Structure 1
Amino acid sequence: MKKQNEALNKRKKAKELENPRDQFMVISKRDMKKRGWKQLDFIIISGDAYIDHPSFGTAIIARVLEDAGFKVGIIAQPDWRSTKDFKQLGEPRYGFLVTAGNMDSMVNHFSVSKHRRSYDNYSPGGESGYRPDRATIVYSNRLREAYADIPIIIGGIEASLRRFAYYDYWDESVRRSILFDSRADLLVYGMGEKQILKIAENLEAGLEIKYINYLPGTAFIADDLESLYDYEVLPAYKEVKNSKKQYAYAYKLEYLEQDPIRGQQLVQQHGNRYLVQNPPVEPLNQEELDHVYSLPYQRNYHPIYENQGGVPAIKEVKFSLVSSRGCFGACSFCAISFHQGKMMTARSKESLLKEAKKIIAMDDFKGYIHDVGGPTANFRRPSCTSQLSRGMCRGKECMFPAPCSKLEVDHKEYFEILRELRNLPGVKKVFIRSGIRFDYLLQDEDSRKYLKELAAHHVSGQLKVAPEHVSDSVLSYMGKPGIEVFDKFREAFYQVNNEIGLEQYLIPYFISSHPGSRLEDAVELAEYLRDINHHPDQVQDFYPTPGTMATAMYYSGYDPRTMEEVYVARSKEAKKMQRALLQYHKKRNHQIVRKALKMAGRRDLIGYHKKALVPPTH
């Protein structure tokens, strides 16, 4: 302990002398020379271009380590075809931290129809080709070639959601934990500030990476289970690869234990070794979260990208505020609960106002704060206070199938923050783009007052909401409320807009071909769109990505919650039909919509009458 305190004081003194508050992080030997550094403590390898903004995980981890006095460098988007770029900053004293970036590299590269994308929002000029497929695995293996024994710690969304054996949509197979394929020493899952600081302190104290296997929020590979106790065993990799039912059951256990208070250690055998996941780490408290967002981010992409047109990803977030983390909504197609967790933590009003003033002072700020939110903008507090001592209820959801009787709903603080933000000198408008849970808003006894304030001050003509579907059975698989809840919100929204004399519109989002959605469900959705006179220009096909319950349904054909069979539209034609039905109004879809209606036994919807979706064939 004495040695660790001495090291901490030494780092703090060095940090005070360097005073890098007006600098980007180190990305070159030249930067190291300017700071008088001969060797870095940690080097972060990232699949994204370097953007020094708190909406990007690489920037947060780099700043958190820097704040603790460690010397940190970033190698952004190295050429993975050789080891040359991985050596450009030399060998770090303690280890490499590897991330694919803010987005899963396979989702970044491929559309849901598996066509390779030509645009990359996280690369210079929006050009694709700056990162490999499965970037975490490729980067880690290149590092093993360059530095055989250096500690490698992987993290970020790609690693986090592949920590167990997982279904890979692009391979159409079950792959083993990413820890095995990457040959990394340790995996940090979830939001990693606490874990990475503990790992850094242990390495600095001289502890070998193989012994840093006890930290919450991490996973590692064990040769045997002799040193473990009080753990739960998942179906082995071989079992989940050979049995779809076992895959669904494994996911069920993984999902149920993702709780920082009551969660157990989980073990999954892979051949003659074992993947071990320690329980989730407790989320940062408000003071800790405020501190993370107070660090000296430059709030822009690094100047080296200027000649390439910058990095497009900054545009959406440059003038936005992250106000919270976590989500207890638990939509089955979303990975937030498996990554950030269900427990809500939120920044203080003072912290948000302070960051807003930094935004206002920027030369290119035009008066518009684009967002104040998180995974769900109007979630700012735990769903109930009892979860803080006993954890989230095992096997139950706060909002589904109906809001829990113990749900504590309060929008007062959130709207107080919005009021103070929009009243700051220099602010013209504060928008909410990250989305709200309309069912949660309706639970508030003052919902009409808040909805009116939302419409009057925080909507710019259109408010995006996500009912996702209309069929009760499909919504049940999605973990979403019945469509009557959305209808209630929709009616209230238009009423308050009429009262305040504004003409604004709701833009509802829907997903086609979600597990559980049959052809007749898609027809029901098309009829609903007809009745509300909404013609969506864009429709999201269900995208099976690692870490979500819906993906487990898609692959296995079972609902992990009940272990009952679930229908899945798998063929290209079945998916095309469901998608076309949502856009029945487009002439190019008429032929396939007619075919779908005939197959569904709904010829009554073909014709020229009021209820018809498409005209007959001439």
Structure 2
Amino acid sequence: MEERPITDWLPLTKKEVEKCGWDELDVILISGDAYVDHPSFGTAVIGRIMESEGLKVGIVAQPNWQDDLRDFKKLGKPKYFFGVTAGCMDSMVNHYTANRRLRSNDSYTPGGEAGFRPDYATTVYSNILKEIFPDVPVLIGGIEASLRRVTHYDYWADKLFPSVLVDSKADVLVYGMGEQPLREIIRGVKSGIPLTELTHINQVAFLQPKEAALPVVDSWETVELSSHEDCLVDKIKYAANFKIVEVESNKWQANRITQQVGDQTLVINPPFKTMDEVEMDRSFDLPYTRLPHPKYRKRGPIPAFEMIKFSVNMHRGCFGGCSFCTISAHQGKFIASRSEKSIMKEVDQITKSPDFKGYISDLGGPSANMYKMRGKDESICARCSSPSCIHPVICSNLDTSHKPLTEIYKKVDAHPGIKKAFVGSGVRYDLLVDDFNKNNSDMNHDEYMEQLITRHVSGRLKVAPEHTSDATLRVMRKPSFKYFRKFKEKYDAISAKHGLKQPLIPYFISSHPGCEEVDMANLAAETKDLGFHLEQVQDFTPTPMTVAEVIYYTGVHPYTLQPIYTAKTKEEKQNQNKYFFWYKAEFKDWIRNRLTKLQRPDLAQRLLGFRNRNQKY
């Protein structure tokens, strides 16, 4: 039988499966996103990995879950299992704002249309499959499944949910970046082992009867969490659980985690060690078309693809450990970097795209400037369980050299097909401040900063100080605001030296745990003093498996179990948000009256000035 050319899209329809000459698929992937065959889209990565391991793979993208369910049946019954993902975002974050308002668009759908995936998509899809094909195993993964793998608080329902394995009825969950466990799973099922018996593989979770013995793996120790039922009645136990999960997720030699859920035991196997350069290249160098499937042409562009189609993701992971962020929880604390050869190969591919005009939109990663940063002595990293390598100070063992990244910038600049290559990802500015980052005697971050500012800023540079209050920043696991001031001084000096006018765009969060109303007023005053008129503000959203989510729900910090204030009511949140817009006439009377009531006329004066008979403010 003639094999399908490997550079085609993976089949989405029965007709496309037949064109491949296949009578049966080995695995069918169900995704909440439209199918974009690009390494930034998880379904494409998983599908291409399976294909590289010799499997016949089909995709059902954004199936209709409301009517006759024909989409779930159209590719038939797979030989090994169904793979289910909600997509590149948690479906609830995708659907709702921080105020729980329904969003009017979906960036992962053609035309940006909303309504093409359900709430709690992983659970909905998996339950439908279990109803239609009760004898076929279901494997769930992606960020929604990953961050809901254990008892978690759901902000939108305002209650605790058990592991997503319980409600979805799925057989196995892969958490984190799935390449390593997936390859092991594929080898297992190809050798004849049912998916449900692959309980010895790292980075998977599953349920088993409460009385059953745990699978024996000699190198694993086991840590037991408080049961789901205990968490329902005791918020402190839920908070303590989170600390264990985060610590084990950040260790090289982690323990297996168990939790009792009703008459079942949730088992979470320890993660794989972070992917090395060869493994990263192997994933990114798969034969992606780098395009959305042709079926979407008449429905309009897919916004998420349009944003990244001329970008290059150079690494994964983040060692910042910010309290509100899920990146380290899903991608890991340790940085997994691609080789320079693999990156330049992708640059070459981009330049050959018919509609490429010579401009790369982003040379980046979760934090743009963490490429190839790692521990100088890996044996120290192996013993470390800290959630952050740079909070409260930069670890002395962390190599924060920007030289490898600077060299890649220069090589991309020199490419004959590139006019400009911008850095669109957020830059971790504290790594560029001498007083904070003292780990490199050659201060090569100065060279990086000069290269970045003069060659790779597209009109403005995004940075995220997040707040100005040191107390709030400590809860956020972010550095003191004084380092942002120092960074701005350095940025402005380099810009002036080269005659550049490229404003800094700082990002801030309102209503974050640890932030009082007066802290927001002070933030407004501090940023006003620095010349900023803030136009967009991110209101805090408690997302599963973050420190800030635990504080929001329990009222205590999971590491200290000490109380921390959090704005929760609509009024509290709106009050914090209004200070950002001190320059708008409709808020000025409210701000002055409010700060007078809070006994902070000094902040009112800084924000609004003195009042006299001839001048209102």
The bucket for the TM-score relative to the shorter chain is over 0.9
Alpha-carbon offset, residue 391 of structure 1: 2.2
Correspondences of 1:407-418 after superposition (within 5 Å):
407-418=398-409
Structure 2 equivalent of residue 4 of structure 1: none
**In structure 2, distance between residues paired with 1:614 and 1:68:** 76
CA contact (8 A) 1:606 1:613 kept: no
Alpha-carbon offset, residue 612 of structure 1: 6.0
Correspondences of 1:221-232 after superposition (within 5 Å):
221-224=207-210, 225-228=212-215, 230-232=221-223
| Bigger mean CA offset, 438-447 vs 26-35 | 438-447
1:108 pairs with 2:104: no
1:291 pairs with 2:278: no
495, 498, 514: which one aligns with 1:497? 495
Q: Which amino acid aligns with 1:142?
A: I
**In structure 2, distance between residues paired with 1:574 and 1:614:** 30
CA contact (8 A) 1:154 1:188 kept: yes
**Cα offsets for 1:408-450 (capped at 9, x unmatched):** 1211110111111111112111111111111112325133222
**In structure 1, distance between residues paired with 2:353 and 2:606:** 56
Structure 2 equivalent of residue 543 of structure 1: 541
Alpha-carbon offset, residue 351 of structure 1: 0.6
**In structure 2, distance between residues paired with 1:63 and 1:373:** 23
Structure 1 equivalent of residue 566 of structure 2: 568
* Local SS of the residue matching 1:267: strand
Q: Which amino acid aligns with 2:47?
A: A
Structure 2 equivalent of residue 254 of structure 1: 245
Correspondences of 1:245-394 after superposition (within 5 Å):
245-259=236-250, 261-387=252-378, 390-391=381-382, 393-394=384-385
CA contact (8 A) 2:376 2:397 kept: no
**In structure 2, distance between residues paired with 1:50 and 1:258:** 30
CA contact (8 A) 2:423 2:458 kept: no
Closer, same or farther in 2 for the Cα pair 1:208/1:282, shift >3 Å?
A: same
Closer, same or farther in 2 for the Cα pair 1:617/1:412, shift >3 Å?
A: same
Corresponding residue pairs, total: 603
1:56 pairs with 2:41: yes
Q: Which amino acid aligns with 1:50?
A: Y
Structure 2 equivalent of residue 74 of structure 1: 59
Structure 1 equivalent of residue 469 of structure 2: 471
Closer, same or farther in 2 for the Cα pair 1:386/1:117, shift >3 Å?
A: same
**Cα offsets for 1:314-341 (capped at 9, x unmatched):** 1111000010011111111111111111
Alpha-carbon offset, residue 595 of structure 1: 4.4
Q: Which amino acid aligns with 1:336?
A: I
Closer, same or farther in 2 for the Cα pair 1:612/1:290, shift >3 Å?
A: farther
| Bigger mean CA offset, 282-291 vs 377-386 | 377-386
Closer, same or farther in 2 for the Cα pair 1:48/1:37, shift >3 Å?
A: same
Structure 1 equivalent of residue 151 of structure 2: 165
Q: Which amino acid aligns with 2:226?
A: P
Closer, same or farther in 2 for the Cα pair 1:50/1:524, shift >3 Å?
A: same
109, 121, 128: which one aligns with 1:123? 109
Closer, same or farther in 2 for the Cα pair 1:476/1:581, shift >3 Å?
A: same
Closer, same or farther in 2 for the Cα pair 1:75/1:463, shift >3 Å?
A: same
Closer, same or farther in 2 for the Cα pair 1:592/1:133, shift >3 Å?
A: farther
**In structure 2, distance between residues paired with 1:49 and 1:614:** 59
Structure 2 equivalent of residue 233 of structure 1: 224
Correspondences of 1:378-457 after superposition (within 5 Å):
378-387=369-378, 390-391=381-382, 393-395=384-386, 397-442=388-433, 443=437, 444=440, 445-457=443-455
* Local SS of the residue matching 1:107: helix
Closer, same or farther in 2 for the Cα pair 1:614/1:119, shift >3 Å?
A: farther
**Cα offsets for 1:511-534 (capped at 9, x unmatched):** 001000011211211110111120
CA contact (8 A) 1:448 1:492 kept: no
CA contact (8 A) 1:585 1:614 kept: no
**In structure 1, distance between residues paired with 2:533 and 2:241:** 40
User: Which stretches in structure 1 are left out of the alignment for 5+ residues?
Assistant: 1-13
**In structure 2, distance between residues paired with 1:608 and 1:469:** 18
* Local SS of the residue matching 1:577: helix
CA contact (8 A) 1:530 1:613 kept: no
Closer, same or farther in 2 for the Cα pair 1:389/1:97, shift >3 Å?
A: farther
**In structure 1, distance between residues paired with 2:535 and 2:403:** 35
**In structure 2, distance between residues paired with 1:110 and 1:125:** 18
Closer, same or farther in 2 for the Cα pair 1:599/1:168, shift >3 Å?
A: farther
* Local SS of the residue matching 2:374: coil
1:515 pairs with 2:513: yes
Q: Which amino acid aligns with 1:412?
A: K
Alpha-carbon offset, residue 503 of structure 1: 1.5
CA contact (8 A) 1:166 1:175 kept: yes
CA contact (8 A) 1:221 1:275 kept: yes
Closer, same or farther in 2 for the Cα pair 1:586/1:219, shift >3 Å?
A: same
Structure 2 equivalent of residue 480 of structure 1: 478
Structure 2 equivalent of residue 187 of structure 1: 173
Correspondences of 1:195-210 after superposition (within 5 Å):
195-210=181-196
| TM-score normalised by structure 1 residue count | 0.94
Structure 1 equivalent of residue 164 of structure 2: 178
| Bigger mean CA offset, 558-567 vs 473-482 | 558-567
Q: Which amino acid aligns with 2:515?
A: S
Alpha-carbon offset, residue 19 of structure 1: 5.1
**Cα offsets for 1:383-424 (capped at 9, x unmatched):** 313346752622463101111222212111101111111111
21, 25, 37: which one aligns with 2:6? 21
Structure 1 equivalent of residue 199 of structure 2: 213
**In structure 2, distance between residues paired with 1:579 and 1:70:** 51
| TM-score normalised by structure 2 residue count | 0.94
CA contact (8 A) 1:584 1:590 kept: yes
**In structure 1, distance between residues paired with 2:111 and 2:377:** 48
**In structure 2, distance between residues paired with 1:548 and 1:422:** 38
Q: Which amino acid aligns with 1:557?
A: G
* Local SS of the residue matching 2:82: strand
| Bigger mean CA offset, 43-52 vs 215-224 | 215-224
Alpha-carbon offset, residue 569 of structure 1: 0.7
Q: Which amino acid aligns with 2:50?
A: L
102, 118, 129: which one aligns with 1:143? 129
**Cα offsets for 1:180-218 (capped at 9, x unmatched):** 000000000000011112112211222122211111111
CA contact (8 A) 1:584 1:613 kept: no
CA contact (8 A) 2:315 2:338 kept: yes
User: Which stretches in structure 2 are left out of the alignment for 5+ residues?
Assistant: none
595, 598, 601: which one aligns with 1:597? 595
**Cα offsets for 1:266-306 (capped at 9, x unmatched):** 11111111111100122221111112111111111111111
**In structure 2, distance between residues paired with 1:535 and 1:355:** 38
**In structure 1, distance between residues paired with 2:145 and 2:588:** 42
Q: Which amino acid aligns with 2:43?
A: T
Question: Root-mean-square deviation (CA), in Å?
Answer: 1.9
* Local SS of the residue matching 1:274: strand
**In structure 2, distance between residues paired with 1:611 and 1:406:** 48
Correspondences of 1:76-91 after superposition (within 5 Å):
76-81=61-66, 82-91=68-77
Structure 1 equivalent of residue 142 of structure 2: 156
**Cα offsets for 1:111-169 (capped at 9, x unmatched):** 11011011111112111011110000000000011100101000000000000010000
| Bigger mean CA offset, 516-525 vs 56-65 | 516-525
